[in-house]
Amino acid sequence: MAKKIAAIVTDLVEDVELTSPKEALENAGNEVTTIGFEANQTIKGKKGGEFTIDRSIDEVSPEDFDALLIPGGFSPDQLRKDQRFVDFVTYFLKNDQPLFAICHGPQLFIQTGLTEGRTMTAYDTVRPDVAYAGANVKDEAVVIDNQLVTSRTPDDLPEFNKAIVEILG
């Protein structure tokens, strides 16, 4: 059965960290909805890609989705300043719902206060931050902690994509 996945993004997302997992999830029969500040807004990726936001954060509820994807780049750092996105991520962490984050994506976890005791990875410069927030940090291509799947960089996308598709069944 197809799952509904939310992908929260804004400008300066790492292009391939949005496009590659989205494609893998859709190829597995799932539906991915991009969520940002405004519906129908065009955002620009770090590498110049343009992406249209499907839904505004104000139009959705985390309960509408089976899983959450957080691509990296500078997008997560901008999103974590907005409590609406922090609350969205909090729902998935608190309820151990499938949550997929790559590169800078785990920055959003810090704002939730729910990293204590979780095992994860992230981009080199983000790993110390999540460790200071109480996470058990590993330097591995993919780290799976229950329904939480994290990866470090675009180089890890093959393993990351395989893991997130498998978690969804």
> What amino acid positions are annotated as catalytic residues?
103
E strand or H helix at 129, and its extent?
helix 127-132
For 61, counting Cβ atoms within 10 Å of its Cβ (0-12 exposed, 13-18 middle, 19+ buried), the class is exposed
Between CA 114 and CA 93 the distance in angstroms is 7
For 44, counting Cβ atoms within 10 Å of its Cβ (0-12 exposed, 13-18 middle, 19+ buried), the class is middle
User: Quick one: angle between helices 157-167 and 15-27, nearest 10?
Assistant: 40
Query: What's the one-letter identity of residue 106?
Result: P
